[in-house]
Amino acid sequence: MINLLPTAVAADSGLVKIKKWVQIGTTLVLVGYLLVLAALAGGNWYLANREQTISGEMTQLTGQVSQLAEMEAILRQQQDRIKLVNQSLAARVKLADVADKLTGANVVGWESLPTGKQVVTAQSSDSASLEIYADSLKNNFGTVTVNKLARDKSGQWQIEVALVGGRK
Partner 1 sequence: MIKKWHWLLYPLGVGVVVLTSINILFGSSGLWEKISGSRERLAKQEAQTAKLRAKLTVLQGANRQVESDNLTYLLSVLPARKNLPTLLAEVEQASSVSGAIFEGFKGRVSEVAASESATASAGIASDALQLEVTLVVVDLSQLRAALASLENSLPLVKINKIEFAAGKAILLVEGLWHTLAKLPAGPDYPVVDSSASLAQLRAALSSFTELPKLEIPQTGDVNFNPFEQAQPVIIPSPTPELIPTPVPSPTPATSPEEAPPASP
Query: Where does this chain bind partner 1 (CB under 8 A)?
Result: 19, 22-23, 25-26, 29-30, 33, 36-37, 40-41, 43-44, 47-48, 50-51, 54-55, 57-58, 61-62, 64-65, 68-82, 84-86, 88-89, 91-92, 94-96, 99-100, 102-103, 106-115, 121
CB closer to partner 1 out of 54 and 132: 54
CB closer to partner 1 out of 121 and 129: 121
CB closer to partner 1 out of 1 and 119: 119
Least distance between partner 1 and beta carbon 155 (Å): 19
What are residue 142's phi and psi, to 5 degrees? -65, -50
Please name every residue paired with 149 in a beta bridge, in sequence order, or none if there are none.
159
Least distance between partner 1 and beta carbon 143 (Å): 19
Cβ neighbours for 145, distance < 8 A, ≥ 6 positions apart: 161, 162, 163, 164
Least distance between partner 1 and beta carbon 71 (Å): 5
130 and 144 Cβ atoms separated by less than 8 Å: no
Length of the chain: 168
Residue 88 one-letter amino acid: S
DSSP-derived secondary structure for 112-124 = E-TTS-EEEEEEE
Beta strands (DSSP E) in 6-142 are 106-112, 118-124
Least distance between partner 1 and beta carbon 54 (Å): 5
116 and 141 Cβ atoms separated by less than 8 Å: no
CB closer to partner 1 out of 101 and 131: 101
CB closer to partner 1 out of 78 and 143: 78
